[in-house]
């Protein structure tokens, strides 16, 4: 059985930088689209990769040096026209990391671009990014997902701002705080208080094994 | 570039029959696992299929004669051990149809089995079904998805029962009815009343273009 289908993985890696939701892009070193910025991606290696998730972790590590604590399958894009090399399948993933994990290292060069200021990307990468942004926004409204863009300890104000940067909108502080008891994925860290300009703020963290607790999903 | 990866599509087709959530299974006519019940699936045909969704529609039509109004990509399963023929990718879909669309026709033989009474299926098909059931339940709690298991016109009692069959739990009638105004995907059909044993019941339908309206997803 001869199918001749190209199978790749591509990764949309989000971070929050300068209060802006950004993604990691790499300049392609090979044709097609050599020298253009594109999503980190690469061929799946059947001899090496256990499955597509392992391939995504490998490609991200090899091409950017980044290991993301959160990596989720997004969607599989496919067809005869998306890649000039032939009928192709791209199993895509999205990742969220705190900015401190994105240190440009020796041998890895990438750029961080704001999601609302992207150039025309090769293949269907703009469509993949749009899909990832939509998923991130949808899922943020009922999960702890945005916490992965924060450092391990954070204040409720920082958490609210992160939700706001993702959703692209301002949230009412009292409504946000009223919702918080439903978010059982959070816990106050005992004796961890940050001294701020105004009054001291309690620090919070994700509960272990509650990284994606869902609320508002029962009738 | 030689990858030698098998690319297939597999479909979990749900229906509600005798008040039970069931899926369509086919007896395999070829090795591996010949004669065993498995999900409808098949190789992707690059020369014929526009993309994986088109492949899923084609495979479903060819193998079962069924055309599903609702077909959504579920997840892509992959790896070196899930198929004895080699490293493989299965782009999976799930579909929901009203029982009346599942007419066994000449040349198409399939079985309907309750999701909680499935045998051991070949490949990772039990895992695929479990994933589909979870997605269906998650998504049902905030969308019009269950309506696809109903006939075009239905009563609110029938709608509630459908949610109950999917979620595997009993819902409080008054809570369910209070939620309904949020479900703006429904509309009462003018002058359509069903005479029942007790009192007449208004008939409802899905609003056009509101087939998957989401509620409870904003903060």
pLDDT tens-place string over residues A142-181: 788 999 999 999 999 999 999 999 998 899 999 888 887 6
- Return the percentage of chain A with pLDDT > 70, whole number: 91
Block residue for tokens 């999976």: B92
Would you state the pLDDT for residue B197? Answer: 76
Task: Nearest chain B residue to A54 by CA: give it.
Answer: B79
Q: Say how far apart CA B28 and CA B38 lie, in whole Å.
A: 7
User: Which of B1, B2, B3 should be substituted to probe chain A, the one whose Cβ sees the most A Cβ atoms within 10 Å?
Assistant: B3
Q: Which of A46, A86, A138 sits opposite B4 (nearest CB)?
A: A46
List the structure tokens of B6: 């098998």
Q: How confident is the model at residue A184 (pLDDT cuts 50, 70, 90)?
A: confident
**Crossing angle of the two packed helices A125-140 and A156-167, in degrees rounded to 10:** 140
The superfamily CATH assigns to domain A6-139 is Nucleoside Triphosphate Pyrophosphohydrolase (3.90.79.10)
**Averaged over A85-113, what is the pLDDT?**
89
**CA proximity to A35, closest of A158, A152, A119:** A119
Would you state the pLDDT for residue A219? Answer: 25
**Side-chain-side CA neighbours of residue B192 (13 Å):** 12
The verdict on a CB contact (< 8 Å) between B73 and A75 is yes
Would you state the pLDDT for residue A109? Answer: 81
Q: Which of A89, A218, A219 sits opposite B7 (nearest CB)?
A: A89
Q: Report which DSSP code applies to B3.
A: -
Distance from CA of B15 to the nearest CA of A (A): 22
What is the overall mean pLDDT for chain A?
A: 89
Start and end residues for every CATH 3.90.79.10 domain found in chain B: 6-139
- The answer to whether B164 and B170 are in contact (CB under 8 A) is yes
Would you state the pLDDT for residue B216? Answer: 31
Task: Nearest chain B residue to A87 by CA: give it.
Answer: B46
Start and end residues for every CATH 1.10.10.10 domain found in chain B: 144-206
Distance from CA of B140 to the nearest CA of A (A): 9
Would you state the pLDDT for residue B214? Answer: 33
Residue A215 in this model has a pLDDT that exceeds 50: no
Would you state the pLDDT for residue B177? Answer: 87
Start and end residues for every CATH 1.10.10.10 domain found in chain A: 143-206
Q: Which residues of chain B have a pLDDT value below 70? A: 1, 104-106, 181-183, 209-219
Q: How confident is the model at residue A103 (pLDDT cuts 50, 70, 90)?
A: confident
pLDDT tens-place string over residues A116-142: 999 999 999 999 999 999 999 988 877
Q: Say how far apart CA A13 and CA A23 lie, in whole Å.
A: 5
Listed in sequence order, the residues at least 6 apart from A209 whose beta carbon sits closer than 8 Å to its beta carbon are: none
Instruction: Return the exposure string of B45-81: e unless at least 16 CB atoms fall within 10 Å of the residue's CB, then b.
Output: ebeebebbbbbbbbbbeebbbbebebbbbbbbbbbee
CATH of domain A143-206: 1.10.10.10
Q: How confident is the model at residue A211 (pLDDT cuts 50, 70, 90)?
A: very low
Would you state the pLDDT for residue B215? Answer: 30
Q: Which CATH number fits domain B144-206: 1.10.287.70, 3.20.20.70, 1.10.10.10, 2.60.40.10?
A: 1.10.10.10
**Averaged over A98-121, what is the pLDDT?**
88
Q: Which of B46, B79, B89 sits opposite A4 (nearest CB)?
A: B46
**Averaged over A29-35, what is the pLDDT?**
94
Would you state the pLDDT for residue B184? Answer: 77
Give B-chain residues touching A168 at CB under 8 angstroms: none
């Amino acid at each position: 059985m001869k199918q001749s289908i190209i199978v790749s993985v591509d990764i949309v890696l989000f971070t929050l930088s300068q209060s802006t939701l950004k993604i990691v892009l790499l300049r392609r070193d090979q044709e097609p689209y050599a020298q253009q910025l594109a999503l980190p991606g690469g061929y799946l290696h059947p001899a090496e990769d256990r499955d597509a998730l392992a391939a995504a972790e490998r490609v991200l590590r090899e091409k950017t040096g980044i290991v993301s604590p959160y990596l989720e399958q997004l969607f599989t894009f496919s067809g005869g026209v998306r890649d000039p090399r032939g009928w192709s399948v791209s199993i895509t993933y999205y990742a969220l990391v705190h900015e401190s994990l994105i240190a440009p290292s020796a041998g890895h060069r990438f750029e961080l671009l704001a999601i609302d200021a992207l150039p025309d990307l090769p293949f269907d990468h703009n469509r993949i990014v749009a899909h990832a942004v939509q998923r991130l926004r949808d899922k943020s409204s009922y999960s702890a997902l945005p916490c992965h863009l924060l450092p391990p300890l954070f204040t409720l104000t920082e958490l609210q701002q992160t939700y706001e940067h993702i959703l692209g909108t301002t949230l009412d502080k009292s409504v946000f705080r009223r919702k918080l008891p439903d978010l059982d994925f959070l816990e106050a860290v005992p004796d961890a208080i940050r001294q701020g300009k105004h009054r001291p703020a309690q620090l919070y963290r994700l509960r272990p094994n509650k990284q994606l607790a869902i609320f508002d999903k029962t009738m």
